[in-house]
Amino acid sequence: MQPPPKYACVVRYKGFVLLEQPNHSWLIRPERSPMFLLPFRTMRCSLREAKELLEQKLSEEGLIKFVA
């Protein structure tokens, strides 16, 4: 059995949880159901860039008005 993963940083943002991975990428997932946007991972980037990517995905899906 593996120990739980260690996250460098955990941030709540607009109904989502951004979890920094050990390689400095981000796992972004909704805080609760129903999930309007499925969890996804980013490439290595800063927190600001991860937030911008989330904003972009929300606007593409037309969901920005529901979580703002």
17-30 pLDDT tens trace: 999 999 999 999 99
Distance from the Cα of residue 41 to its chain's centroid: 7
Three-class secondary structure of residue 60 per DSSP: helix
Element (H, E) at 20: strand 16-20
Handedness of CA 16, 32, 23, 44 (dihedral sign): negative
pLDDT beneath 50: ranges in the chain: 68
Do 22 and 53 form a contact (C-beta atoms < 8 A)? no
pTM: 0.78
